[in-house]
Chain A
């Protein structure tokens, strides 16, 4: 069964303290691994798409990487405004376009 697991569920960091969020998946035929940021009461905001193992993408303090079994979202020198829930999702090989979401990691960055 296709599934995705995120860890940790919650993460508290001091401003400037770098860390990584994990997204592990079991899926047959990965078409894409997606990272989203969600603020309370809002829809998810698209961050990255990764398509194949070894791929990396960066945006400001965020860097996403992908292996055959997991993806990491690295946060370098985070700021309080990076506090949010980070969701990963994958799309399998079917043509429906459905995304399977993990439960998310809620990040709190304290000043």
Chain B
């Protein structure tokens, strides 16, 4: 149980284009989803917290207009990187927290974004 998927697993796009990444909780309803980015040999950095049906809460320093987050249902959240630039190249990981009392978060496999 508690499986989270991401799609795509990797994507290459040209500078200036937009890319959408999907995060799905497969066997539970996620009340909250989180988006992280991870640079090589660094830990996870939280970008935003997403609750179903409401606006995402972004961490300080994360551009809301650049990283659009939509949490349209209890099993799906999307992250759209708009007007991507090479510095946006990174490993993006989502996690989902279910309606459990244990505060546990389950992570997706990650999406490798390369902007050329």
Contact = CB atoms under 8 A, between A and B. Distances in A.
Given A32-B102, A98-B34, A103 B42 contact: yes
A34 B34 CA distance: 16
A31 B91 CA distance: 28
B107 A43 contact: yes
Question: How large, as a class, is the contact surface on chain A?
Answer: 20 to 34
B103 A91 contact: yes
Nearest to B93: A43
Given A42-B109, A43-B109, A96-B57, A103 B43 contact: yes
A46 B49 contact: no
B96 to A, nearest CB: 10
Interface string A75-111: 0000000000001000100001111011110000000
Interface string B99-116: 000111111111010000
Question: How large, as a class, is the contact surface on chain B?
Answer: 20 to 34
Contact of A41 (B32, B43, B46, B110): B110
Nearest to B41: A106
Given A42-B109, A98-B34, A101-B44, A31 B103 contact: yes
Interface in B31-45: 32, 34, 42-44
Interface of B: 2, 4, 6, 32, 34, 42-44, 46, 49, 57, 91, 93, 95, 97, 102-110, 112
Interface of A: 31-32, 34, 36, 41-46, 49, 87, 91, 96-99, 101-104
